Homo-oligomer: A and B are copies of this chain.
């Protein structure tokens, strides 16, 4: 991809009301555009990054037998009334709207109610279970205050997975598969080392749920942990009763700021019971379906990655999520010719800064944009038969023979 062909240029300044470092860089580097507080557009580089994260999640969920669907944002009130979540007093982040033909609709902040209703069409017998269905869907949440850039927004891309099992044992088996899949996902997107599965509040139906929390100085949450005992707790569960249960004293727990990047939740019959999602078992008996739900805020994860790795010069993307692997800069005509050919041969992996700018500006933009590996070809490097390869994360610089570089193999 030639940078001169892309409309989203780097900007000197971010909007003044944008306080999160990640959001400032994402805007200045041309990844996102702020539509209003808590609402962002994804520009070409940002959309590629988001899709890379989405694809990693999709691969890991498909690998454990999940099926992808896509539900609507517009929501009828009925199923939400049955579950008790339609009233604004019960769920205070609803966006609601009116249908021209009469009646009120909501914009889905989550999808437990509609997917439970949908499954009533498809679940009749134990033979229809288990079902694991997920989607990548825009969620709408009417947050009073939106800050932290794309880490907490009013409109965001979420992966939400729902499981429908005949009983608790089969639910637990799948729940553990999801735990493992989530760990692989965070590893693959580059957050593996700093993301912990925590015990979190389970609500009224389960003792605990689990969250995945990434250590982050500006994170909104606080986690308490003891590395020796492998105990990691969300702040809300650090009560005398829970400390007893885990046989640990509060003084033996360290605390750190963290950002939630996923949650998994045993719902039991919370939605299947009020919405009447039953199945007939082998003996012809009616049973209620045992449910779980599993969320990852995809755009939020992108924001956390940006926030986690950014340095004083700009963004630093892990290779698996970066929009391009290589950021190519050439200096001089001979280098430019090599650069043109290199870009033509690898359009999907190379971002070539072919703009008519001084090298210093291009280097600064490369730091800001955070593509993992910079390739610099100049008369000087060509004299040595080489190109210069620079790691964005470490700054490590190597001279590599030009034949290896043109094959992207070193």
Query: A2-35: which have CB < 8 Å to B?
Result: 5-9, 11, 33, 35
**A5 is contacted by which of B41, B42, B67, B114 (Cβ under 8 Å)?**
B67
Of all chain B residues, the one with the shortest Cβ separation from A70 is B42
Verify if A341 is at the interface (C-beta below 8 Å from B).
Answer: no
Whether B101 pairs with A144 at a CB distance below 8 angstroms is yes
Whether B72 pairs with A43 at a CB distance below 8 angstroms is no
Whether B114 pairs with A35 at a CB distance below 8 angstroms is yes
What's the number of copies of this chain in the assembled complex?
2
Verify if A403 is at the interface (C-beta below 8 Å from B).
Answer: no
Of all chain B residues, the one with the shortest Cβ separation from A102 is B144
Whether A118 pairs with B69 at a CB distance below 8 angstroms is no
Asked whether A40 and B72 contact (CB < 8 A) given A7-B119, A65-B5, A100-B144, the answer is yes
A320 — which chain B residues lie within 8 A by C-beta?
Answer: none
Of all chain B residues, the one with the shortest Cβ separation from A144 is B100
| Size of A's binding interface in residues, CB under 8 A | 57
Asked whether A47 and B74 contact (CB < 8 A) given A7-B131, A122-B9, the answer is no
Considering the chains assembled together, what is the distance between the CA atoms of A154 and B101 in angstroms? 11
Verify if A280 is at the interface (C-beta below 8 Å from B).
Answer: no
A47 — which chain B residues lie within 8 A by C-beta?
Answer: 68-70
Verify if A338 is at the interface (C-beta below 8 Å from B).
Answer: no
Among listed A89-97, A379-387, A394-402, interface-contacting one: A89-97
Considering the chains assembled together, what is the distance between the CA atoms of A36 and B105 in angstroms? 10
Among listed A135-143, A306-314, A368-376, interface-contacting one: A135-143
What are 7 residue pairs bridging A and B, where the CB atoms are less than 8 Å apart in the complex? A7-B128, A35-B72, A37-B101, A41-B69, A43-B69, A74-B140, A138-B138
Chain A positions within 8 Å of B, measured between CB atoms, are 5-9, 11, 33, 35-37, 39-44, 47, 50, 65, 67-76, 92-93, 95-101, 105, 107, 114, 118-119, 121-123, 128, 131, 133, 138, 140, 142-145, 154-155
